[in-house]
Chains A and B, each alone.
Chain A
């Protein structure tokens, strides 16, 4: 079975600083990997996804993530944090099941951005 581990339940950065949110996965097959953002009392919004094409994936709002098979990692980065980036971020992996996919989420990382 596939799984996702997000290192750090909380990350705090200053506005304008680099954002790095860590995600490691375990999978016996090439995975489909995702990063989602969740604002309070809202659903999830897709930031970016990796589906076995380019290993460096660019997403919305200036975020990007790099798939590193050797490290089984898919860390999320953004060069310069903005106050509006403060939210909960979830890394996810899709597992193929009979008839479709099942998405498994990491525990989430809350990003705080200090002025």
Chain B
């Protein structure tokens, strides 16, 4: 299957600093990438949908100025947690859906990165 690489796999930062998480599709192009947040022993909550070359679409309750998303190319999306606080500590996971070939149906399967464990101290 297609590979999505997420980096870093874990990060510890101080309160007030910013952290950038990268999500790369290694062997396919992804027009759309998704960012999720997962609290311990809970499900994945969609934070935002990232579209290449346009602004991300944020889910209700997600602060767009705090969680900056950039999708500058068809293989890379970044999530920057700005002015991080301890309550931002969580597991962040990205996923990517392959861009369909011309004339083909939209791909229904999304491929997931390995996740990033963020701890803010």
Which residue of chain B has the shortest Cβ distance to A103 in the bound complex? B110
A residues 25-84 touching B (CB-CB < 8 Å): 32, 34, 36, 41-46, 49, 51
Which residue of chain B has the shortest Cβ distance to A108 in the bound complex? B43
Which residue of chain B has the shortest Cβ distance to A36 in the bound complex? B112
Taking Cβ atoms with an 8 Å cutoff, the residues of A that contact B are 32, 34, 36, 41-46, 49, 51, 90, 94, 97, 99-108, 110
Per CB-CB distance, the 5 closest pairs between chain A and chain B, nearest first, are A43-B112, A44-B112, A43-B114, A32-B108, A43-B115
Residues of B near A94 (CB, < 8 A) are: 108
Which residue of chain B has the shortest Cβ distance to A4 in the bound complex? B43
Complex formed: what's the CA distance from A97 to B111 in Å? Answer: 18
Docked-complex contact B32 and A100, CB < 8 angstroms: yes
Complex formed: what's the CA distance from A102 to B9 in Å? Answer: 24
Docked-complex contact A43 and B34, CB < 8 angstroms: no
Is B91's beta carbon under 8 Å from chain A? yes
Interface residue total, chain B, C-beta cutoff 8 A: 28
Distance (whole angstroms) from the CB of A81 to the closest CB of chain B: 21
Which among A32, A42, A44 has the highest number of chain B CB atoms within 10 Å?
A44
For the residues of A in contact with B, the DSSP-based class is strand
27 A-B pairs, CB-CB below 8 angstroms? Answer: A41-B9, A41-B115, A42-B114, A43-B114, A43-B115, A44-B95, A44-B112, A45-B112, A46-B109, A46-B111, A49-B108, A49-B109, A90-B44, A94-B108, A99-B51, A100-B106, A101-B108, A101-B110, A102-B46, A103-B34, A103-B95, A103-B110, A104-B46, A105-B43, A105-B44, A108-B42, A110-B41
Residues of A near B115 (CB, < 8 A) are: 41-43
Which among A36, A43, A106 has the highest number of chain B CB atoms within 10 Å?
A43
Distance (whole angstroms) from the CB of B53 to the closest CB of chain A: 12
Residues of B near A90 (CB, < 8 A) are: 43-44
Distance (whole angstroms) from the CB of A73 to the closest CB of chain B: 19
Given the interface pairs A41-B91, A43-B112, A44-B93, the reply to whether A103 lies near B46 with Cβ below 8 Å is yes
- Which of B97, B112, B113, B117 makes the CB contact (< 8 A) with A100? B97
Docked-complex contact A43 and B6, CB < 8 angstroms: yes
